């Protein structure tokens, strides 16, 4: 055996074994945050604060209005003294829980009148960062813009400007509201599946049908070799609420692969059979629809197009016609939403392109020979402080990471922050260089630009050094209390990063920022060295920063995790 090889390989194994332990422990802690948050949210789904706000909303209705008890669907029905319905108050959770803002979701209360017109919208609870939520509440026009709108207008709203300085939170509020209101009905009054016989009545060589994954009422017709022949759209369940003479009808319309209408087939019906039979036998009514290829059929105005009912079955035939148009429009809306979603990342890149560009430039600067050009660093620092900090407010923080761990990562809305997280966590694992703290963090850049004004004498330095060593353990203890014990508190208050949100006066963060700057005037990068919780997490995961295995930081992290497990078992 080669002794030199053995000597060199042992440290390598030890180093990466320790690194694997730290990464696994970190992931386990994140999973614990997520699990405990889910259990807590389930246990406190209908909180007293939402109940009190809903009670206050009764004043929006005529005098004497009362509400029923909260239903399993998360709404209060509002009635007058005689029991006649006046409207309803709904909360957006749990459907809105997946709409994550900066670090959490927001539960809204929406009051509707009897005609589904919005009377008021209020925030019942938010797991997002306090400063962002306060900014939205100060921006009163954001929520009030929906008053007087219909439920359909809320669902279809797409061109809504988010609140400046709280883009992620306000965007998530809109998405959560639409998730709550925009769910499509999938329970049919008719047979849940499209029969092969019904499909063959429209496409004779069809051998099997498969339901489309995006739209419940759309079926794909295929031959015996699995090749697509066309698609068939059922009006049920979308149009089940449209009543002809005495009930709804399930109608199918078939399209060729080029979008041309092949024909229609009237299937099961709860309407009067003689009337349904008249419509089935009327060739003109069926041929009318071949004039409207996809997606034109979704835009038909029946009156303007002169489409009239079948003689002797006017109500039944017009109900079928309205159902075909309504279902086609619903399908078209879904397809448009999917098209928008496909380009959502491109839109996100446009919105967060500056953050991505500065992050990539800072990473390349830190890892390449560009560092040898002294004139580049000041330009990078100005861009980091001015654009990332003051303009975009894109800074990593322990509050954000804990929020993501508890509630999920808002992939669609946070491209810039996700790229920053990759630069902060993944890049150091691969390169051993803490790129984010040294080159991309706005507060770090502020400290780098500070001159060293004070020099501390040796006796005072020893005393101060001992005091500074206690700061981070205390802060991590607070993270534990707020994150795992659900102690009331805002983790953004223990770091200076919200001070860059100049549209909001974040007093605690501003105080921390000022104290950090004063410390850095005496100790270069003093805040980063002694008080930054986010930077500590980054350095903990970075290989090469620990001289031995199972150091004090490992003991602290393991204790953190074990205590969390105990809390989970008790809960």
Residue 457 scores a pLDDT above 70:
no
4 has pLDDT over 60: no
289-304 pLDDT, tens per residue?
887 888 888 888 888 8
* Mean pLDDT, residues 174-199 taken together: 75
Contact residues for 429 (Cβ-Cβ < 8 A; gap 6+): 19, 23, 541, 542, 543
Q: How many CA atoms lie within 13 A of 456 on its CB side?
A: 16
Structure tokens that stand for 229 in this block: 């022949």
CB 172 within 8 Å of CB 132: no
Residue 79 reports pLDDT greater than 60 = yes
Distance CA 306, CA 315 (A): 15
Q: Read out DSSP for 100-141?
A: --SSS-EEEEEEEETTSBEEEEEEEEE-S-HHHHHHHHHSTH
Q: Which among 353, 520, 366 is positioned nearest to 436, based on CA atoms?
A: 366
Q: How far apart are CA 332 and CA 336, in angstroms?
A: 6
**pLDDT value at position 349?**
64
Give the global pTM.
Answer: 0.64
Please, how many CA atoms are within 13 Å of residue 235, restricted to the half-sphere of its CB?
26
Helix residue ranges per DSSP H, 282-397: 283-288, 302-305, 314-342, 344-367, 376-383
Q: What's the pLDDT score for residue 427?
A: 94
- Tell me the average pLDDT across 255-284: 88
> Using CB atoms within 10 A of its CB, is residue 419 exposed (0-12), middle (13-18) or buried (19+)?
buried
Q: Token pair of 252, please? A: 């199918």
Beta-carbon-side half-sphere exposure of residue 37 (alpha carbons within 13 Å)? 21
Strongest mean pLDDT among 22-31, 168-177, 331-340? 22-31
pLDDT over threshold 80, residue 1 = no
Instruction: Give yes or no for a contact between 128 and 106, defined as CB atoms under 8 angstroms apart.
Output: yes
Q: Across the chain, how many H-helices and E-strands are there?
A: 24, 10
Note the pLDDT tens digit of each residue in 474-528: 999 899 888 887 788 889 899 999 999 887 778 999 999 999 999 998 888 999 9
Comparing 249-263, 340-354, 469-483, the range with the smallest average pLDDT is 340-354
Q: What stretch of H or E contains 228?
A: strand 228-234
Q: Interior CA angle at 156 toward 150 and 157, to 5°?
A: 90
Per mean pLDDT, which of 63-67, 118-122, 258-262 is the most reliable?
118-122
- Over residues 363-419, the pLDDT tens digits come to 999 999 888 788 899 999 999 999 999 988 899 999 999 989 888 888 777 888 999
What's the pLDDT at 41?
58
H/E element, 267: strand 261-269
CA distance 140 to 145: 9
Cis peptide before 215 (omega within 30 of 0): no
Q: Span 254-282, mean pLDDT?
A: 88
Q: Estimate the share of the chain in helix, then strand, then coil, as percent rounded to the nearest 5.
A: 55, 10, 30
For residue 314, what pLDDT band results from cuts at 50, 70 and 90?
A: confident
Residue 48: both structure tokens together: 């007293």
154: part of which helix (H) or strand (E)?
helix 151-156
What are the tokens at 57? 């909303």
Q: What are phi and psi of 87, to 5 degrees?
A: 150, -160
- Write the DSSP assignment of 488-499 as a string of letters: S--GGGGSSGGG
- Indicate the pLDDT class of residue 561, thresholds 50, 70 and 90: confident
């Amino acid at each position: 055996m080669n002794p030199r090889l053995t000597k060199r390989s042992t440290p390598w194994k030890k180093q990466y074994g320790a690194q694997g332990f730290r990464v696994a422990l970190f992931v386990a802690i994140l999973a614990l945050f997520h699990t405990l948050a889910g259990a807590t949210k389930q246990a406190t789904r209908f909180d007293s604060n939402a109940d009190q706000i809903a009670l206050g909303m009764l004043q929006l209705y005529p005098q004497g209005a009362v509400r029923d008890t909260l239903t399993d669907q998360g709404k209060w029905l509002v009635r007058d003294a005689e029991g006649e319905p006046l409207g309803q108050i709904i909360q957006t959770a749990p459907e809105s829980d997946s709409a994550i803002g900066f670090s959490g979701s927001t539960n809204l209360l929406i009051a509707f009148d009897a005609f589904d017109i919005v009377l008021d919208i209020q925030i019942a609870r938010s797991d997002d960062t306090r400063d962002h939520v306060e900014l939205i509440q100060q921006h009163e026009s954001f929520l009030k813009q929906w008053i007087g709108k219909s439920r359909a207008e809320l669902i279809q709203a797409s061109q809504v400007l988010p609140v400046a300085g709280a883009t992620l939170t306000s965007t998530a509020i809109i998405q959560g509201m639409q998730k709550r209101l925009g769910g499509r009905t999938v329970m049919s009054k008719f047979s849940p599946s499209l029969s092969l016989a019904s499909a063959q009545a429209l496409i004779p060589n069809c051998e099997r049908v498969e339901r489309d994954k995006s739209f419940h009422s759309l079926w794909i017709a295929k031959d015996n070799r699995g090749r697509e022949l066309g698609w068939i759209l059922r009006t049920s369940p979308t149009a089940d609420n449209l009543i002809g003479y005495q009930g709804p009808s399930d109608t199918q319309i078939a399209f060729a692969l080029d979008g041309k209408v092949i024909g229609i087939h009237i299937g099961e019906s709860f309407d009067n059979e003689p009337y349904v039979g008249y419509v089935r036998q009327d060739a003109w009514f069926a041929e009318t629809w071949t004039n409207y290829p996809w997606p034109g059929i979704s835009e038909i105005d029946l009156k303007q197009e002169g489409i009239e009912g079948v003689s002797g079955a006017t109500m039944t035939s017009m109900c079928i016609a309205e159902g075909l148009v309504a279902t086609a429009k619903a399908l078209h809306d879904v397809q448009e939403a999917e098209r928008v979603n496909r380009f959502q990342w491109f839109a996100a890149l446009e919105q967060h392109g500056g953050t991505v560009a500065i992050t990539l430039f800072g990473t390349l600067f830190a890892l390449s020979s560009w560092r040898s050009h002294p004139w580049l660093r000041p330009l990078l620092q100005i861009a980091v402080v001015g654009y990332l900090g003051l303009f975009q407010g894109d800074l990593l923080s322990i509050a954000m990471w804990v929020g993501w761990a508890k509630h999920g990562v808002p992939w669609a809305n946070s491209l810039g922050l996700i790229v920053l997280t990759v630069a902060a966590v993944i890049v150091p694992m691969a390169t051993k260089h803490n790129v984010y703290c040294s080159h991309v963090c706005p507060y770090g850049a502020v400290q780098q630009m500070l001159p060293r004004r004070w020099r501390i004498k040796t006796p005072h330095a020893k005393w101060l050094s001992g005091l500074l060593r206690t700061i981070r353990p205390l802060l991590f203890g607070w993270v534990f209390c707020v994150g795992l014990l659900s102690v009331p508190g805002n983790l953004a208050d223990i770091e200076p990063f919200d001070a860059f949100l100049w549209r909001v006066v974040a007093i605690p963060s501003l105080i921390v920022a000022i104290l950090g700057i004063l410390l850095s005037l005496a100790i270069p990068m003093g805040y980063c060295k002694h008080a930054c919780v986010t930077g500590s997490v980054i350095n903990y995961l970075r290989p090469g920063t620990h001289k031995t295995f199972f150091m004090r930081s490992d003991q602290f992290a393991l204790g953190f995790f074990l205590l969390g497990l105990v809390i989970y078992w008790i809960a």
